[in-house]
Amino acid sequence: MSYQKSNISSNNFEQCIKCTICTVYCPVTAVNPEYPGPKQAGPDGERYRLKKPLFYDEALKYCLNCKRCEVACPSNVKIGDIIQLARIKHSKLRPGLRERILANTDFMGTLASTFAPVVNTTVKLKPVKKLMDWTLKIDSHRTFPKYASQRFTTWFKRHAEKSQAALPNQVTYFHGCYANYNYPQLGKDLVKILNAVGYGVQLMEKERCCGVAKISNNLIKQATRDAKRNLEEIRHSVAQQREVIATSTTCTFTIRDEYHHILGLENGDVREQVNLATRFLYRLVDEGKIKLAFRDDFRMKAAYHTPCHMEKLGWSIYSTSLMRMIPGLELLMLDSLCCGIAGTYGFKRENYKYSQAIGAPLFKQIADFGVDVVACDCETCKWQIEMSTGVKVENPISILAQALDVERTKALNNIK
C-alpha cells in the first residue's frame, strides 16, 4: 500500500512526539516566563495557527533563533524554522526605526566607518547611550562594536589584491559586515594564512550583508533582495571553481540554511561550496593538501566558546581541531551555552536583562577558567563576552594567524 509509508508535514512539525527536550535546551525559556518555549511556540502552536491565524502569540518575538532546539530534537523537527516562519507570516509588530538601524548592518557600516573616530567616541558617551535608550530603546548598558576607519575591502584593494592571482589555488572570501566595517584584522589574518598555504583570495564584486539581522527583524523583502544578489555572486564564484569561505558562523549558516528554509530561495546547487574558513582549512590539512608550521615562541591559554549557529552547523570540531595543531596553545572547552546576545536581540532594551541572564552561566565559567583569551567564531558572541566578562575574544583564524610561522609554512607548501 502506498499510503502512510512516510508522514510528511511542513518543517516536520507533525513528527514531534512531545518529548519536550527542545524546551529543556532553550536558553530563553529558562530565564523568561513570557516565552512559551520552543515546543509550544513551534509544533504545538503551529496546529493552532493552522486552525486560525489569530492564535499567533506575539511572545514568539522572544525567540533568539539560536536553533539549539533543532539540535536537541530527536525527531528532526525544524522548530526554529517553524517559529521564524510564523513570525514572518503572522506578527503584527512592524519593524521600526530601531529595527531598521540594527538590521541594516552594511548600510550603517558604510556610514559609520566613514566617520569612524567620531562615531566610536560618540556612541561611548553616557548621554548618547541614554539618548539612544530613550529614543530608540537600544539598551544603554550595551557597548557598541567599534567601527574601523579603514574598511577591509579598502585595505584589500590597496595592499593585497594584486598579489593574489599569482598563487596556485583560489578561493572567494565572504567577509561579512563585521570583518569589513568593524574588525578588518580578521580578514587580514585570513588572507595571511591562505596566502601562506598557496591560496589566493578573491572578493565578490558586490557582496551584500548575509541578511541574518534583517531576517530576525522581519525585514524579509530586503533580506531576500540581498540574498538573491549574494547567491548570484556565489554561483559566479563556483562557476570559476572557487569555493566561498567565511569567517563568521552566522553568515555561513544563514547562506547555507536560512536562505532556503526561511526565505524560500533555492540554494542547493551551491550550498556545499559555502564553507566556514576553519573547516575549509582543516579539511585541506587533513587531506594532506596543505601543511601548517607554528612559531616556537607562541604561548596562549584559551577557552573555546561554541556559538549557537556553530552548534547548529555541528562544525566546532573543525575550529577546535585546527587550534589544537598549535603547540603553544592550551585549549579548554567551555560548555556549549548561548551567550545571550543573538545578534541584534540583546541590543534591544526589552531583551537586555534576559540577554544577560541567558549568558550568566557562560560568563561564570569563563571567569572560573582564568584564560587569556576566549576563542569563538562569532562576532556578536565576541561583543557580548567581552562586554560581560572583560576577557578578550578572538576568532580561531586570528589565533591561528598569530601562531603561524609564515616563512616555514610557505616553505612547507612550496610557496615563494
Contact footprint for another protein (CB under 8 A): 1-9, 13-20, 33, 36, 39-40, 43-48, 50-51, 54-55, 57, 75
Report in angstroms how near the CB of residue 28 gets to another protein at its nearest: 17
Report in angstroms how near the CB of residue 5 gets to another protein at its nearest: 8
Report in angstroms how near the CB of residue 17 gets to another protein at its nearest: 5
Residue closer to another protein by CB (options 57, 133) is 57
Residue closer to another protein by CB (options 76, 135) is 76
Residue closer to another protein by CB (options 3, 416) is 3
Report in angstroms how near the CB of residue 217 gets to another protein at its nearest: 22
For residue 183, report the phi and psi dihedrals to the nearest 5 degrees.
Answer: -140, 70
Report in angstroms how near the CB of residue 119 gets to another protein at its nearest: 40
Residue closer to another protein by CB (options 36, 359) is 36
Residue closer to another protein by CB (options 2, 414) is 2
Residue closer to another protein by CB (options 94, 206) is 94
Report in angstroms how near the CB of residue 25 gets to another protein at its nearest: 17
β-partners of residue 394 are 375
